[in-house]
Amino acid sequence: MKLEIINAKLNPLKEEDIRAIVEIERHPAVRKWLVEYADEEFERELEEYRRFFSELKSNDRVEVLVAKISDRVTGFLALWRMDDSAERTTSIGISVHPDYWGRGIATNLIKESIKLAKERGVKKLIIETLEENSAMKHVAEKLGFKLETVRKSKIFKDGMYHDEDVYSLQL
């Protein structure tokens, strides 16, 4: 099964692709690790994603890469530019469908995003993750990201405070 990585700005997504992305974001095993997410009914969230993707081309703060296997969306990554400083610090958000974990999809998505970020003149990439997210931390470290900061008790989630780790990669 061949993994394809698609730039959603260059290849507009189909309705079924957007639906698959929302399903990944809403999957309980994914949501467990997300810090920010919309707590809405499916159709409303889908509508927001449709709007986001319809305006994507004109949004210069974000880039989206989509991973597909046999034309099915299995994961996606967003690069969010956080500031307009010379470093153009950009944050990575990523989710992979749990059925496809451990097959290198996140690794490939992040590698592609590093290339894209360099092309866009980004000098610093960051990954903000719950301290307990060992899989995310492992992938970040494997790709050369360094732990920059631990934000103590930054995240209130599921009834308790969690530390947030910030990993960074200078490009």
Ligand X SMILES: CC(C)(COP(=O)(O)OP(=O)(O)OC[C@H]1O[C@@H](n2cnc3c(N)ncnc32)[C@H](O)[C@@H]1OP(=O)(O)O)[C@@H](O)C(=O)NCCC(=O)NCCS
Residues in touch with ligand X (CB under 6 A):
30, 33, 94-96, 101-107, 127, 129, 133-136, 138-139, 142
Compare residues 49 and 101 and give the one whose CB is closer to ligand X: 101
The CB-of-159 to ligand X minimum distance in angstroms stands at 19
Nearest-approach distance from CB 38 to ligand X, in angstroms? 15
Residue 13's SS3 state is coil
Query: Which is nearer to ligand X, 134 or 153 (by Cβ)?
Result: 134
Question: Considering beta carbons, is residue 98 or 121 the nearer one to ligand X?
Answer: 98
- How far apart are alpha carbons 125 and 116 in whole angstroms? 11
Instruction: For the CB of residue 115, give the shortest distance to ligand X in the complex, in Å.
Output: 16
Quick one: tokens of 8? 């959603």
Give the angle 36-37-43 at the CA atoms, nearest 5°.
Answer: 170
d(Cα 115, Cα 111) in Å, to the nearest integer?
7
Task: Please identify, using beta-carbon distances, which residue of 55 and 141 lies nearer to ligand X.
Answer: 141
Q: How far is the CB of 57 from ligand X (least distance, A)?
A: 25
3-class DSSP state of 73: strand
For residue 95, give the nearest of 109, 80, 115 by alpha carbon. Answer: 109
The CA distance from 126 to 106, in Å, is 15
